Structure 1
Amino acid sequence: MSEIVFAIPGEIDLPTGGYGYDRRLLQEWRGNGVAARHLPLPGSFPNPTPKDLDETGRLLLSQPSDHVLLIDGLAYGAFPESIAADLAGRVVALVHHPLGFETGLETEHARRLIARETAALRHASAIIVTSPATKRLLVSGFGVSAGRIAVAEPGVDRAPRAAGGRPDEPLQLLAVGSLVPRKGYDILVESLRPLQDVAWRLTIIGSADRAPATTLALKAQIASSGLQDRITLAGAVGEAELAQAYDKADIFVMPSLFEGYGMVLTEAMARGLPILCTTGGAAAETVPDAAAIKVAPGDAGALTRALSELLAESTGRKRLADASWAAAETLPRWQDTATIVAETCRKVFA
């Protein structure tokens, strides 16, 4: 193998966990002398047009035969089997989470995505996933043998411990993630309605343009609940502003219905924040039980009860925060992640 060609659809600078993972791999490889380059693919994935599929096939098949093709699952999982078969023997597929498990899909659309990804994965020489939970899912639901799958959990950067909000201010709740159905923000807003007699403020940081209908519905729900003065939809922000938001937070909340890993959870742990999250997908395992209150995804009542407990009990918040801060020391670093991915790619041509 002379080079890793990392094929990624769309704009690599988009503020999502998956794109953040891809960016950090490329950054770590540059810093450590690993021969790798980014190959942009059309941005219509995971619902590519016929023209974009033709262009994708041309781009990938034109790469030198001694280069490993590392293909982000947002594209690879949507490949027709004919393209995947043409590339067989030189592909490593990176699966953040299966495409058919995105919330809000019509049943038939989800079924087609699962069938297409199952077929494509048969032709990958190796598969990289970001959590043990996703590995188990591919084995049980997609017919992939465990021996073909490597787990490369996202790394986390060291960060200063969060200072929290001022004592004379309402407790600051923070959620981070794009406004898409899978993130469950409608459930979070519903869970906060019964808690209007408690002093809190919620900031949701995440891109508002990935699912415009979801964003409009969320804004309408906030207004109809009378919470427009207490919930801020901050949109996508830069790294400095995001770090400032983590520093000012008192509680981190992640109401997602499904996660392939949940990078924002480890970012919250790196700041020593008490966490309230769901058990959707890999999120159940990403945070140790001692560092978080965990509830079933989609259960607004359970979220209300957990939030009520956290908002009322400073001792409980501190216990979770201390466990979160301690657990962050055991998390992988990005260099570890990049090494696993690079070694997996090398083995394809070994």
Structure 2
Amino acid sequence: MDLTLVVYGSLDEQSGGFRYDRRLVDSLRDRGHAVDVVSLPWTSYARALTHNYGSGLPSRLADADVVVEDELCHPSLVAANRRVDAPVVTVVHHLRSSEPRGRWRNAAYRAVERRYLRGVDAAVCNGETTRATVAALADLPTAVAPPAGDRFAPVDATATSAPGDGPLELCFLGNLEPRKGIHVLLDGLAQVDGDWHLTVVGGTADPGYGRRVRRRVRALDLRDRVTFVGRLPDDAVADRLAESHLLTVPSLYEGVGLVYLEAMAFGVPALATTAGGASEVVTDGENGLLVPPGDATAVADAVRRVRNDRDLLRALSEGARRRFERQPDWDDAADAVEALLREVGPA
């Protein structure tokens, strides 16, 4: 089958959604499908809406048996898709209108996403939570294709940092942007005494927010306890995770949260929130801890629990590794996607 994938920027970008798209493309190519990638330029939401007119985008998608689109690109495609002859399948990591923001602004995003979803033929969703949000806006065929967490080379389950009596090593892994909740994490950690250290790994998706986060570290007098290392290559990220005791990414919303699975490969439990689909990966008290989104006091209480109870931390670590080993692999995801493509594609 000849497929065209539409994304913003490049598949080489490092966020979880782009890693998902990249692995999906690799799996489909391994199965003999031709996949052409069409890159759209990053821009503001309002400017992206103008891509629908006068850009020649439909003609760039004309030769595909099926057009596959990352739903992130929906503002650029909401009207253009109606001039595309091929079936269109969207890959949904999470809906923009599911993110926390002002009611009226989200209502506008929801209206655009509803129109977009009603103009495609099917949707690939990364989890059941995402599928439910799609179903609330449009009635269309869907397939759930959960991500695997095998970003790193096979991890020896014994080669991780056993929770002993030393400092509690915390790791935040993700882009510095408000949705990832690092401001909430810092406010929570400021309430926690004892011997702990946080390493922040990730690029700065929102420079203004990144500056505010660093100012917050200074204002909370956490400079000796928080280290920003920026974006790291995969081998260095693996080393950091192997030395960590708890992944702390209290996102205000996650479709699923690929990063939690990636940490669990190292036996690192996750502190996540109940917002969105993180609970499809993180089970409170079994392989991690769940807190309400935006609740710094709950973050502090959760960190204190594992700081004070290393037996609990050890049990969570063992549960995290077991959870990772149960996760479907990319072949399973490709099976689900391929079946959906054949359902909507040419006979």
Fold agreement, TM-score > 0.5: yes
Aligned residue runs from structure 1 range 308-327, under 5 A: 308-327=304-323
Contact 2:4 2:64 in 1 (8 A): no
Percent sequence identity is 29
C-alpha spacing 1:90/1:45, structure 2 compared with 1 (3 Å)? farther
Q: 2:145 aligns with which of 149, 152, 177?
A: 152
Aligned residue in 1 for 2:259: 264
Aligned residue in 2 for 1:37: 36
Describe the SS at the equivalent of 1:179: coil
Aligned residue runs from structure 1 range 64-143, under 5 A: 64-76=62-74, 78-79=75-76, 81-87=78-84, 90-103=87-100, 105-140=101-136, 142=137
Aligned residue runs from structure 1 range 125-274, under 5 A: 125-140=121-136, 142=137, 144-145=138-139, 148-157=141-150, 158-161=154-157, 163-164=160-161, 169-195=166-192, 197-208=193-204, 210-274=205-269
- The code of the aligned residue for 1:328 comes to F
Aligned residue in 2 for 1:7: 6
TM-score by length of 1: 0.91
Describe the SS at the equivalent of 1:4: strand
Distance 2:339 2:324 in 1: 25
Q: Structure 1, residues 298-337: CA drift from partner, whole Å, max 9, x if none?
A: 1111111111010111100011111111121110112221
Offset, 1:168: 7.3
Contact 1:26 1:37 in 2 (8 A): no
Q: Structure 1, residues 40-62: CA drift from partner, whole Å, max 9, x if none?
A: 1222264434654446x523333
C-alpha spacing 1:275/1:132, structure 2 compared with 1 (3 Å)? same
Distance 1:292 1:320 in 2: 6
Contact 2:8 2:39 in 1 (8 A): yes
Distance 1:328 1:230 in 2: 29
- The code of the aligned residue for 1:176 comes to L
Offset, 1:149: 1.4
Aligned residue in 2 for 1:19: 18
Q: 2:292 aligns with which of 280, 290, 296?
A: 296
TM-score by length of 2: 0.91
In structure 2, list runs of 5 or more residues that go unmatched: none
Aligned residue in 2 for 1:58: 56
Contact 1:156 1:270 in 2 (8 A): yes
Contact 1:46 1:99 in 2 (8 A): no
Offset, 1:166: 8.9
- The code of the aligned residue for 1:149 comes to T
Distance 2:190 2:86 in 1: 54
Runs of 4+ in 1 over 4 A off after TM superposition: 165-169
- The code of the aligned residue for 1:110 comes to N
Offset, 1:285: 1.9
Aligned residue runs from structure 1 range 330-345, under 5 A: 330-345=326-341
Offset, 1:217: 0.8
Contact 1:278 1:294 in 2 (8 A): yes
- The code of the aligned residue for 1:300 comes to A
C-alpha spacing 1:33/1:230, structure 2 compared with 1 (3 Å)? same
- The code of the aligned residue for 1:12 comes to L
Aligned residue in 1 for 2:274: 279
Distance 1:214 1:69 in 2: 35
Contact 2:179 2:253 in 1 (8 A): yes
